[in-house]
Amino acid sequence: MQLIYKTLATGGFISYLPPLVFRFKKNTGAGFLGTLWGVLLVLFFPKDYMLYLITLLAFWALAVFVCQKVQFKGYKGHDNPKIVIDEMAGYLTAMAFLPRSWGYLLAGFVLFRTFDTIKPLWVKTFDKIENAFGVVFDDVCAGLMVNILLQIFIIFYK
């Protein structure tokens, strides 16, 4: 069962790739790859708004559960870079109820990576919570901020 949790938490072990290539860097790029998995997941999420919301809430719960299972079994430290399911949850949040055009997917990707990296406002508050909930919900909060920005863009510029 632990192998299933690790597979989910690491995006199919994709988070192991960057440290093998970039041994000299502090930031491994695993979050970048985890967010790319999020782009792929968005394409398979339901198009119906209510089903998207239900699926998103279930994904958040799964992400917290999986992080809790792996966080103390080999992935020590708060928000271990090998755990990327939180980036997937954050990006899915960023793209909720938005068009699935490549322009929005790219804008959501760039904004989410930016917010996840600089951790503005409430993102930093969630990041300070040192448990599985904090690991996931700093990314969910960053995704929510991106979503709000893109929704405002649609209202004013479409």
The token duo for 105 is: 């997917």
The residue among 132, 145, 146, 150 whose CA lies nearest residue 60 is: 132
Each residue's pLDDT tens digit, 3-33: 999 999 999 988 888 766 566 555 568 889 9
Location of structure tokens 């860097």: 25
DSSP code, position 72: T
Sign of CA dihedral 103, 95, 47, 7: positive
| Residue 135: partners with Cβ closer than 8 Å, 6 or more residues away | 64, 67, 71, 78, 79, 83, 86
Whole-number Å distance between alpha carbons of 99 and 147: 11
Each residue's pLDDT tens digit, 99-154: 999 999 999 999 999 999 898 888 888 878 878 998 999 999 999 999 999 999 99
Each residue's pLDDT tens digit, 83-110: 999 999 999 999 999 999 999 999 999 9
